[in-house]
Amino acid sequence: MAMGFSSIQTSHLRPSCPSYFSVFRSCPRSSSSRSLWTRTRPEVCAAKAAHDTFSNNTTISLNPVHYHTERESNGTKSAWNNKVFALREEKKVMEHYFGRNISRAGGIKTNSQERLEGFTHVSTCDKLVENSEGSYCKIIDYGQLDKTPGEGNHVDKVNGEGNHVDKVNGYAHDGLGVSTSSRVENINLEKVNGHAREGPGQLGVVNGSQLGKTSKVRKGTDSGRNKDEAAAVIKGDKSHAKASAIKAASKADNDCKQDLRMRLNTTYDKVLVVNSVSVAKKVVKMLTDQYRNLVHACDTEVAKIEVKRETPVDHGEIICFSIYSGPGVDFGNGKSCIWVDVLDGGGKELLIEFAPFFEDPSIKKVWHNYSFDNHVIENYGLKLSGFHADTMHMARLWDSSRRIKGGYSLEALTRDPKVMSGAEQCHLKDLVGKISMKTIFGRKKVKTDGKEGKLTIIDPVEVLQREERKLWICYSALDAISTLNLYESMKNQLGKKPWEIDGNPVSGKSMFDFYEKYWQPFGELLVQMETEGMLVDREHLAEIEKQAKAEQVVAANRFRRWASSYCTDAKYMNVGSDVQLRQLLFGGTVNSKDSDQAIPTERTFRVPNIDKVIGDGKDTTPKYRNITLHGIGVNLPAEIYTASGWPSVGGDALKILSGKVSSEFHFMDDDIDDVGDACETVSDEYLVKQENMSEYVDTSAYGTAFEAFKPKEKGKEACHAIAALCQVCSIDSLISNFILPLQSSNISGKNRRIHCSLNINTETGRLSARRPNLQNQPALEKDRYKIRQAFVAAPGNSLIVADYGQLELRILAHLSNCKSMLDAFKAGGDFHSRTAMNMYQHIWEAVEKKEVLLEWDPQPGEDKPPVPLLKDTFASERRKAKMLNFSIAYGKTPIGLSRDWKVSVQDAEQTVKLWYKERQEVRLWQEKRKEEAAKHGHVRTLLGRERWFPSIARASRAQRGHIERAAINTPVQGSAADVAMCAMLEISNNAHLNDLGWRLLLQVHDEVILEGPSESAEVAKAIVVECMSKPFNGKNFLKVDLAVDAKCAQNWYSAK
């Protein structure tokens, strides 16, 4: 018998309002199924309702139901199209409650051989496909659905009545519902898993009623709500019904929160509250004596810090912390977890009592996001030791793809059954994962009219600790409990993964051994580097801020002057407004996606009245005035469009219009005096550039705007004016992203050093930095204000800046065993020139005839080479060779290269073939990596780390192309990260460097920065080069040498 479905569908879920489920009558459920849910998930009532809905052969419609009558179908589709936002939010709640990702179409994705937590035997469709018939999911409680995806999934009995359903969860009507009863006739799902099902696919109409237009509804079971509400829904009185629903939802939210609090409070019996020095002494003695050999999970709660903006170094105040050492520990009266009240129980003095525990290197401590807890504890003068593991790093090593599958927060990890399946301290169903503060303590903000708003707010943590004390204790103690459970699970799961290098197992070793050997000490090193920070010269930053703003004024006025020659009011326009720029440059242009829409020929804008113009009949100067902008009267070509079909005025689009003058020159013949006082801080070099620019620029440097103007002089002026606009954007980016943030006290400590956060959170294993992102400094050639010059050594110290030369290309040569590349690196010199010589026959002949030199090492007294250098004579070919060297390592295709070079795909393919001609080993290696990803779902780096591609089996053609490029790139980029990590560990562990007083400060991909005494700088530099050249315990097992360039200087800029 075909799967039965009711035409009265369950109302769609609203994750933004979990209590929405309370609006509908629950399906009948067994007490066993409910108790199973509540045992395994300490969730809100909405989750229980979701379980009730899914576990009793109830069909959830994830998309609109389409009837066979055209009128009903169109009406339903239209109603649901107005609820796109709600449909997408549905995804969040289903991911959260069922521990699975929801497909883009809105379906539930689970493997047929996996089980949803809360159900003992569940199989479900592997994928739901969104189409014109709608997408559905059928979940059968306790093993009634046995067939695997791809086969016909038949249900012999639904609720014991064949293809009939006695009770349906609700009568859908614009997102509201009334409980009712009905029978179902000849109803079938047309597509599940993308496969056709049996039956005609008709959806029966119940009792002649239609969705949205109901004339009669058969009496059913009242859900307990007011009958007037039900009548209001049937009559179409939406406002009354909505108000009733919101009221019911609010009540249900409170019920849910109370239920959750009751469950969380069960933790209280396990917690010993430490609020005096005497109790602290007893607990510390137990921790450092009878329990010292255990693994202890620790967690802090911190007030007075904005974690997204402020560094924890010298910021924040600890209000409490918790320590959990396992269920077998007893601190008295069966208490296995301790919670220490720093806020009201003794302050810093109470925290200091735990110094023997925190500072003992032999006592193993695990943390989740160790960096944060380490810094806030060390703010009190303690020096943490005994770091054993960071569960966030362990989870990233176990599965690097979780960035797209829920993330690495403690809550996301501990509420994922797959992640926690390795925990042995208690059964999986008894585990209670981390619960967010917002879930427990969040409340709706009350509006001025006394009604609840949509915004959820949380009181300051110190207020919660005092006013919600018991619940707060349970909440914060649960963090430590969850961390230890997560550690046990990750340790066991990593322990089951064999550690493989080049496809060969490392004898008797697992990925947990890899963690202990590499990532555990590396995690501790990163925290030490964060603590050190980098000293910043704020005076230099303040000076270049003035200079940048002044030059921004010059650039903006140059563009306005040019624009006002075509549109008078343009001299008052806001050059930072995309709308105003689009009106000026593309006024009258038709939308590329809808020919019925076009940018108006002119439009009025309200702008600040900077010239103090007094309007007609006015006595006072208004703050704002109106200006009218119209097109410049020239049809500028638009090559880039926004998603909505309008010409783009972003940086890339403007650079196409202006051409290469965007980066080389800024203005044509500006009247600098017009900018007044601002010019006092404009650099002399900058002004000379503007005066002499016409001597350097040829016609080929101009962009597409050049040909749009007649005569050519007008085209030149347009290109330079638009180039000035590009400079406005570029300078603004430097100011807002670099110059201003580096002066903020949020990211610096008391010693004026900047402490950024360094994280292993990229899928390749490379480091990332935030608050601020010091790895994202402008490229040296684009660092027009010498921002790196602000990073300085302390008085008496120097910086060492050392970086690898072409590290990733050397890694590619080693991994692919490419003879041509290995020979080129062995020969040394300019690798990109050698690549160009091997690609192009005419260059090879020129080198053989000694018409050009591959490279030149000047001797004393020589100021120029005897013949031109290859890189000068064949600059274009070398540039392509250089781009190919890096692009092919990243798996870039001829299509992408054709865009970069602005040539046809055929021409790009021909150039790529020239590159591969001498490097067939690289092509073979890349194909093997694609096969590895397809067959095993992952690839490995040099040291054996895995990057998983969980979606490769069901990927579209475009997605598969992206995955294959990642499969090529990861072993190269990830292996480079492995090399850099090993080099940093070598440097950190070098006893001589430590004795000299040198410390690592920062890593920027292939570059490291150290600081130490100036008198030993040269000696330290030689040691650093040696460590980086032989990063694997003093050796280099690669087939290529690791070239390292190092310099000593007083600031970062000078050392480059």
pLDDT tens digits for 1023-1033? 999 999 999 99
The predicted pLDDT at position 683 comes to: 54
**Choice among 183-197, 432-446, 480-494, 798-812 with the minimum mean pLDDT:** 183-197
Which residues, including other chains, have CB under 8 Å from residue 445's CB and lie 6 or more apart?
A: 452, 453, 455, 456, 457
Shared domain for 72 and 28, answered yes or no, is: yes
Residue 531 falls inside a structural domain: no
Contact 580, 574 (CB under 8 A): yes
Q: Which tokens in the block code for residue 47?
A: 């989750």
Contact criterion met (CB below 8 Å) for 727 and 651: no
To which residue do tokens 């804008």 refer?
605
pLDDT tens digits, 467-501:
999 999 999 999 999 999 999 999 999 999 999 99
Dihedral, CA of residue 463, residue 469, residue 473 and residue 475, to nearest 10: -60
Burial class (CB in 10 A: 0-12, 13-18, 19+), 383: exposed
Q: Are residues 561 and 656 in the same domain?
A: yes
pLDDT of residue 582 exceeding 80, the answer is yes
State the pLDDT at residue 171. 31
pLDDT band at 447 (very low <50, low <70, confident <90, very high): confident
Structure-token pair, residue 550: 């002044």
Which of 1005, 1033, 1031 has the alpha carbon at shortest distance from 803?
Answer: 1005
Most confident of 92-101, 153-162, 969-978: 969-978
Q: Is the pLDDT of residue 628 over 50?
A: yes
Is 268 found in the same domain as 231? no
How many other C-beta atoms lie within 10 A of the C-beta of residue 1039? 16
Number of continuous H segments (helices) and E segments (strands) in the chain: 38, 29
Query: CA-CA distance, 60 to 135, in Å (whole number)?
Result: 9
DSSP code at position 167: E
Q: Is 311:748 a contact under the CB 8 Å cutoff?
A: yes
- Which tops the pLDDT comparison, 888 or 550? 550
196 and 292 housed in the same domain: no
Are residues 6 and 187 in contact, defined by beta-carbon separation less than 8 angstroms?
yes
Query: In this structure, is residue 711 part of a structural domain?
Result: yes
| 275 and 183 together in one domain | no
For residues 207 and 306, membership in a common domain is answered with no
Number of domains in the chain: 4
Q: What 3-state DSSP class applies to 396?
A: helix
Q: Inform me whether the pLDDT recorded for 570 exceeds 90.
A: yes
Element holding 681 (H helix, E strand): none
pLDDT at 502 exceeding the cut of 50:
yes
- Residue 387 within a domain: yes
Is 492 part of a structural domain of the chain? Answer: yes
Q: State the amino acid at position 410 in one-letter form.
A: L
- CB-based contact 298:385 (threshold 8 Å): no
* 947: helix, strand or coil: strand
793 within some domain: no
> Is 453 inside any structural domain?
no
The average pLDDT across 103-125 equals 35
Q: What is the largest CA-CA distance in the chain?
A: 105
| Selection from 527, 528, 522 nearest residue 394 by Cα | 522
What burial class does residue 230 get, using C-beta atoms within 10 Å of its C-beta: 0-12 exposed, 13-18 middle, 19+ buried? Answer: buried
Task: State how far the Cα of 373 lies from the Cα of 368, in Å rounded to an integer.
Answer: 9
Residue 374: CATH number of its domain: 3.30.420.10
Q: Are residues 553 and 473 in the same domain?
A: no
Residue pair 57/159 in contact (Cβ under 8 Å)? The answer is yes
| Helix, strand, coil % in the chain, rounded to nearest 5 | 45, 15, 40
pLDDT of residue 426: 53
Quick check: 907 and 898 in contact, CB under 8 A? Answer: yes
Percent of the chain with pLDDT over 70: 70
Give the relative orientation of helices 469-496 and 391-398 as an angle to the nearest 10 degrees. Answer: 40
User: Which residue has tokens 């306005």?
Assistant: 560
Q: Please name every residue paired with 590 in a beta bridge, in sequence order, or none if there are none.
A: 598
Residues 232 and 267 in one domain: no
Q: Look at residue 838 and tell me if it is in a domain.
A: yes
The residue written with tokens 């006695």 in the block is 166
Least confident of 337-351, 459-473, 631-645, 761-775: 761-775
User: Which is more confidently placed, 953 or 222?
Assistant: 953
- Checking 669-675 for CB contacts under 8 A at 24+ apart, the result is 670/554, 670/557, 670/558, 670/561, 671/561, 672/554, 674/557, 674/561, 675/550, 675/553, 675/554, 675/557
DSSP string, 766-835: --EEESS-GGGPPPGGG-TT-GGGGEEPPTTEEEEEEEESSHHHHHHHHHHT-HHHHHHHHH-S-HHHHH
Question: Which of 966, 1001, 1027 represents a domain boundary (last residue)?
Answer: 966
pLDDT of residue 351: 96
Residue with tokens 């340790």: 491
Report the C-alpha gap between 125 and 521 in whole angstroms: 44
Q: Do the beta carbons of residue 311 and residue 325 sit within 8 Å?
A: no
DSSP SS3 for 654: helix
Give the list of residues 6+ apart from residue 529 with CB closer than 8 angstroms, or none: 758, 999, 1000, 1001, 1002, 1003
What pLDDT is attached to residue 251?
A: 60
Quick check: helix, strand or coil at residue 271?
Answer: strand
Token pair, residue 164, equals 């009939």
| pLDDT for residue 253 | 61
The torsion angles phi and psi of 110, rounded to 5 degrees, stand at -140, 150
Confidence of residue 104 (pLDDT cuts 50, 70, 90): very low
Copy the structure tokens of residue 887. 């692009």
Closest CA to 574 of 549, 556, 600: 556
Are 582 and 704 a contacting pair, CB within 8 Å?
A: no
- Average pLDDT over the chain, rounded to an integer: 77
Q: What is the pLDDT of residue 403?
A: 76
Q: Is residue 809 part of a domain?
A: no
Of 209, 218, 156, 210, nearest to 182 (Cα)? 218
b/e per residue 840-856 (b: at least 16 CB within 10 A): beebeebbeeeebbbeb
Co-location of 310 and 214 in the same domain: no
> How confident is the model at residue 248, as a pLDDT?
60
- The predicted pLDDT at position 739 comes to 94
pLDDT tens track for 792-820: 999 999 999 999 999 999 999 999 999 99
What pLDDT does 242 receive? 53
Residue-range definition of the domain harbouring residue 924 = 815-966
Q: Does residue 890 share a domain with residue 931?
A: yes
Q: Are residues 177 and 273 in the same domain?
A: no
What is the separation, in whole angstroms, between the first and last Cα of the chain?
74
Last residue of a domain, one of 933, 950, 966: 966
3-state secondary structure of 508: strand
Q: What is the pLDDT of residues 200-247, one digit of tens each?
A: 333 333 333 333 333 333 333 334 444 444 444 444 555 555 556 556
Tell me: do 229 and 291 sit in the same domain.
no
**Residue 682 confidence (pLDDT):** 54
pLDDT at residue number 257: 66
Among candidates 467, 468, 474, which has minimal Cα distance to 270?
474
Q: Give the CA distances from residue 217 to residues 4, 65, 73, 112, in Å, rounded to whole numbers and listed in that order.
A: 21, 18, 19, 38
Q: Specify whether the CB–CB gap between 523 and 370 falls below 8 A.
A: yes
- Last residue of a domain, which of 916, 941, 966? 966
Query: For position 227, what pLDDT does the model report?
Result: 44
The two structure tokens encoding residue 737: 């992203």
